[in-house]
Chains A and B, each alone.
Chain A
Amino acid sequence: MVQAPRMTLPTQLVLRVMLADPASEYYGLQLCDETGLPSGTIYPIVARLEQIGWVESKWEDPTRHITQGRPRRRYYRFTEDGAERARDALARAYRPKKQPRPGIGISWPGLTRMSS
């Protein structure tokens, strides 16, 4: 059984971008642009996501890249249950590790007023 990826902030960003449209395909450079993360961060993440079976990758269809006159791209997309597992993992990652203890309020005037 493969373990889930560590939900680092960059990993969460990548999953978030891909979940915006879970059915569509993304290529590396596109993920760099949409997450604002450097290429050196994106590729290890997608490699890991592919390893654990959340996403799958394949070469671009020849008719597409040939008409645009460029080499074929590698595209990543969620596997059948990948999107669901990614959503779960994102939700779990959000759950704070330590619940704030009751009684210790946040001394932020605007915030207290809003929450009361």
Chain B
Amino acid sequence: MNLPSLPPASAGGDDILAGLLRLVAGARPDVDTQLIKKAYAVAARMHQGQNRMSGDPYITHPVAVAAILAEIGADDPTLCAALLHDVVADTPYTLGELESEFGSEVAGLVDGAMALDAAAREQQAAAGTGRAPAITAPDDERILVIKVADRLHNMRTLRHLPRAKQVEKSRQTLEVLVPAARALRLPAISSELEKLASAALAHGGGPPPTASGRLLAFAATVLPAPVRARWREEWLAELHVLRTRRSRITFAAQIVLGIGQLAVTLYRPAAALRRASSAVFAAAVTVSGLVVGGWTATAVIGAAALAVLATLIWVLHNDARTRRFTRLICALRGVPPPRRLRSLPPP
């Protein structure tokens, strides 16, 4: 499903309304434009002065929900209810006023959506006590459709919420709303919800990357492309639990020193790359250093030198031929060859 092309939030209220009307008319030419305009006017007036967590005027949310619904060809009462779905809960506007102005059908949809919210909150509060009440599906399928669209817009703007809220909303989305959207035969919405929620639970919206995190993300670029993201994510998760700056820097620096070894290990199936990888890495880093120039270059070349050195040390430690060579040198110099502890007693 394409994103509804709404005007930016900074645009005037009339632009938002015009954008919505265009979208609605495009999906369903027989739409009652006057009714939509009236619902928008009430919602805009009641939400006046309220803002979303993103800082956008609150009215952008009900309009976006209505836009999502318009795209799937929802009927007029559903679109009105979408525009008005938060006025009763969040503003002085009452359900009675809603009913007298828009009729019992729209009021019923808004009321049903609110009841669903209340039931979900109750279940959330009772979660873990073993007595969590089951949420009964509303009689009118359109109520569920409104909630699914509501959640879709909330998930699209999830990054503005605190992390704990993001996690809570994402879990609920996966557990309740994705199956609901699927049951409502809205595959595009259910898959977008699933994608957004899984991404938020995996790593998105985490803390801003630290210097160590950025260093690791950069270091991972020498790893084979298909597994790069995995190692990056694995290391960032480890960094996340390290409490002190010093421990994070140590962790990251050690990985950078061992990155040549890891690259060689991961590239091993292509044996030709084995010897070349450290040289390629050094060349790539040096070239990027030259391109950037200045202080950055100096730092980058320093890092490159360290990485190459670490790779060299690793090769020296491992290669049997090099070991024999070392022994030869030691013999020539008349010193005893280094003795390595070869093994430990079996467990």
A residues contacting B by CB (< 8 A) are 6-9, 12-13, 16, 19, 27-29, 32, 38-41, 43-44, 47-48, 51, 62, 65-66, 69-74, 87, 90-91, 93-94, 96-97
| Alpha-carbon distance between A90 and B346 when the two chains are bound, in angstroms | 6
Name the contact of B236 in the complex, choosing from A13, A44, A71, A87 (C-beta under 8 A). A71
Name the contact of A28 in the complex, choosing from B164, B238, B266 (C-beta under 8 A). B238
Interface-forming stretch among B23-31, B57-65, B139-147, B255-263?
B255-263
Question: Are B266 and A47 interface neighbours, CB within 8 A?
Answer: yes
**CB-CB < 8 A to B233: which residues of A?**
71-72, 74
The interface bits of chain B over 128-171 (1 if a CB of A lies within 8 angstroms of the residue's CB, else 0) are: 00000000000000000000000000000000000110010001
Most chain-A Cβ atoms within 10 A of its Cβ — which of B206, B265, B268, B341?
B265
Question: Are B258 and A29 interface neighbours, CB within 8 A?
Answer: no
* Beta-carbon nearest neighbor of B257 in chain A: A40
Q: How far is the CB of A40 from chain B (nearest CB, A)?
A: 2
Q: Is B102 an interface residue (CB 8 A)?
A: no
Question: Are B237 and A51 interface neighbours, CB within 8 A?
Answer: no
Question: Are A7 and B343 interface neighbours, CB within 8 A?
Answer: yes
Question: Are B201 and A62 interface neighbours, CB within 8 A?
Answer: yes
Question: Are A6 and B318 interface neighbours, CB within 8 A?
Answer: yes
Q: Is B203 an interface residue (CB 8 A)?
A: yes
Most chain-A Cβ atoms within 10 A of its Cβ — which of B235, B310, B347?
B347
Task: Give the contacts of B312-347 with A (CB-CB under 8 A).
Answer: 317-318, 340-347
Name the contact of B234 in the complex, choosing from A7, A12, A73, A87 (C-beta under 8 A). A73
Q: How far is the CB of A88 from chain B (nearest CB, A)?
A: 10
Question: Are B344 and A71 interface neighbours, CB within 8 A?
Answer: no
Given contacts A38-B258, A40-B257, A90-B346, 20 further A-B contacts (CB under 8 A): A9-B343, A13-B344, A16-B344, A28-B238, A29-B241, A32-B251, A43-B258, A43-B262, A44-B261, A44-B264, A47-B262, A51-B266, A62-B171, A62-B201, A71-B240, A72-B237, A74-B230, A87-B346, A94-B344, A96-B343
Question: Are B240 and A70 interface neighbours, CB within 8 A?
Answer: yes
Do A40 and B255 contact each other (CB < 8 Å), given the known contacts A7-B343, A90-B347?
Answer: yes
Name the contact of A71 in the complex, choosing from B237, B251, B342 (C-beta under 8 A). B237
Name the contact of B256 in the complex, choosing from A7, A40, A48, A69 (C-beta under 8 A). A40
Q: Is B254 an interface residue (CB 8 A)?
A: yes
Main secondary structure of the interface of A (DSSP, over half): helix
Name the contact of B261 in the complex, choosing from A29, A32, A40, A66 (C-beta under 8 A). A40
Question: Are A69 and B238 interface neighbours, CB within 8 A?
Answer: no
Q: How far is the CB of B244 from chain A (nearest CB, A)?
A: 14
A-B contact count (CB 8 A): 107
Question: Are B265 and A47 interface neighbours, CB within 8 A?
Answer: yes
B residues contacting A by CB (< 8 A) are 163-164, 167, 171, 201-203, 206, 230-231, 233-238, 240-242, 251, 254-259, 261-262, 264-266, 268, 310, 317-318, 340-347
* Beta-carbon nearest neighbor of A60 in chain B: B237
Question: Are B347 and A16 interface neighbours, CB within 8 A?
Answer: yes
| Alpha-carbon distance between A96 and B230 when the two chains are bound, in angstroms | 39
Do A97 and B347 contact each other (CB < 8 Å), given the known contacts A28-B238, A47-B262?
Answer: no
**CB-CB < 8 A to B264: which residues of A?**
44
Name the contact of A70 in the complex, choosing from B237, B256, B265 (C-beta under 8 A). B237
| Alpha-carbon distance between A44 and B260 when the two chains are bound, in angstroms | 9
Q: How far is the CB of A77 from chain B (nearest CB, A)?
A: 15
Q: How far is the CB of A36 from chain B (nearest CB, A)?
A: 12
| Alpha-carbon distance between A65 and B343 when the two chains are bound, in angstroms | 37
Do A41 and B341 contact each other (CB < 8 Å), given the known contacts A66-B171, A74-B234?
Answer: no
Q: How far is the CB of A95 from chain B (nearest CB, A)?
A: 8
| Alpha-carbon distance between A91 and B257 when the two chains are bound, in angstroms | 30
Instruction: Please list the 10 inter-chain residue pairs (A to B) with the smallest Cβ-Cβ separation, ordered nearest first.
Output: A40-B258, A38-B254, A40-B254, A74-B234, A71-B237, A44-B261, A44-B262, A29-B238, A39-B254, A93-B343
**CB-CB < 8 A to B317: which residues of A?**
8
Most chain-B Cβ atoms within 10 A of its Cβ — which of A70, A71, A87?
A71
Q: How far is the CB of A11 from chain B (nearest CB, A)?
A: 11
Most chain-A Cβ atoms within 10 A of its Cβ — which of B206, B240, B310, B340?
B240
Question: Are B241 and A70 interface neighbours, CB within 8 A?
Answer: yes
* Beta-carbon nearest neighbor of A41 in chain B: B258
